[in-house]
């Protein structure tokens, strides 16, 4: 009975409301904008992901160039490519680079480009540690952590329509803004949950590649032993959960870690290839 009254009230109200004029409302334009926002959220396809990633990678290389050592770069590419082959996105154009910077850090760029700094590499003691860090970064690419963060942030910074334009027009002003924003993001970092997921799944990927998966926790322990005030790790600490928290969270992975702990660490190959 009460429902009936409500319906009758609504029926009376609707025509009344329709009499109000909505000034200058272009309904088609509104629909297009809504469509564009929807497309931007759901539809960054793999080719666009790779293209955006290449542009962001180029900027990061503008911040720090590669270490001028072809053998070192090829070595790191072999480790990374082998790990990537064990994942659900084995055929992305995976590329790995050592940046000539003394800071300790690593970056994953959408579409399969991964950077590690000379500073971080110098603190490592084995190939399994390198594999652990690369596997962590590979997870960011697999799960599109940065791509999603770029989308989320860009939606606020640009209108939905502009984001769509940025995706379609390479070299246009909207695209430039998007790439700039995407690069700047590496100074701010991802959600903590994304970082902890990259740790957990990174351990799995290192184990799939046949490495001792303790490499990643070992690197995190090395970071923990450093002074957080050190300028070389300031950005890394700002953009990641505290090492103690990461180690605590990795205890959930203890069964996987222990099942493969006796696998190769490849200390000698690492020394020969990365410490010449």
Q: How far apart are CA 190 and CA 188, in angstroms?
A: 7
Angle of the 192-208 helix axis to the 145-157 helix axis, nearest 10: 160
**Using CB under 8 A, which residues numbered 214 to 233 contact other proteins?**
214, 217-218, 221, 224-232
**Interacting residues of 222 by C-beta distance below 8 A, sequence separation 6+:** 123, 124
- Asked whether position 172 contacts other proteins by CB under 8 A, the answer is no
Query: Cβ closer to other proteins: 96 or 160?
Result: 96
Find the binder of other proteins among 136, 209, 219, 241 (CB under 8 A). Answer: 209
**Using CB under 8 A, which residues numbered 84 to 143 contact other proteins?**
85-86, 90, 93-97, 99, 101-105, 113, 117-119, 122-123, 125, 127
Q: How far apart are CA 131 and CA 85, in angstroms?
A: 13
List the one residue out of 87, 140, 86 whose CA is nearest residue 113. 140
- Asked whether position 244 contacts other proteins by CB under 8 A, the answer is yes
- Asked whether position 269 contacts other proteins by CB under 8 A, the answer is yes
**Using CB under 8 A, which residues numbered 8 to 67 contact other proteins?**
54-55, 57-66
Query: Cβ closer to other proteins: 3 or 231?
Result: 231
Determine the size of the site formed for other proteins (CB under 8 A). Answer: 94
Query: Cβ closer to other proteins: 44 or 101?
Result: 101
SS3 letters for 125-163?
CCHHHHHHHHHHHHHHHHCCHHHHHHHHHHHHHCCHHHH
Q: How far apart are CA 134 and CA 218, in angstroms?
A: 13
Query: Cβ closer to other proteins: 147 or 206?
Result: 206
């Amino acid at each position: 009975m009460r429902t009936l009254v409500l319906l009758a009230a609504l029926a009376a109200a609707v025509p009344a409301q329709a009499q109000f004029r909505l000034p200058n409302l272009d309904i088609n334009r509104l629909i297009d904008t809504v469509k564009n926002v929807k497309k931007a959220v759901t539809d960054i396809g793999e080719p666009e992901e790779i293209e955006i990633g290449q542009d962001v990678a180029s900027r990061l290389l503008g911040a720090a160039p590669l270490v001028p050592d072809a053998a070192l770069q090829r070595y790191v590419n072999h480790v990374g490519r082998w790990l990537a082959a064990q994942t659900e996105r084995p055929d992305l154009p995976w590329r790995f680079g050592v940046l000539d910077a003394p800071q300790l850090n690593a970056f994953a760029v959408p579409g399969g480009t991964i950077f590690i700094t000379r500073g971080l590499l110098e603190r490592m003691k084995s190939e399994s540690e390198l594999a652990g860090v690369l596997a962590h970064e590979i997870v960011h690419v697999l799960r599109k952590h940065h791509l999603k963060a770029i989308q989320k942030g860009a939606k606020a910074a640009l209108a939905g329509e502009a984001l769509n334009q940025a995706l379609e027009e390479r070299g246009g002003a909207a695209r430039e803004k998007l790439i700039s924003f995407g690069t700047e993001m590496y100074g701010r970092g991802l959600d903590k949950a994304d970082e902890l997921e990259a740790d957990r799944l990174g351990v799995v990927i290192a184990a799939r590649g046949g490495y001792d998966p303790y490499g990643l926790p070992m690197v995190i322990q090395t970071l923990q032993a450093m002074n957080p005030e050190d300028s070389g790790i300031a950005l890394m600490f700002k953009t990641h959960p505290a090492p103690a928290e990461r180690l605590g969270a990795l205890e959930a992975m203890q069964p996987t870690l222990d099942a493969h702990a006796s696998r190769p660490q490849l200390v000698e190959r690492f020394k020969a290839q990365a410490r010449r």
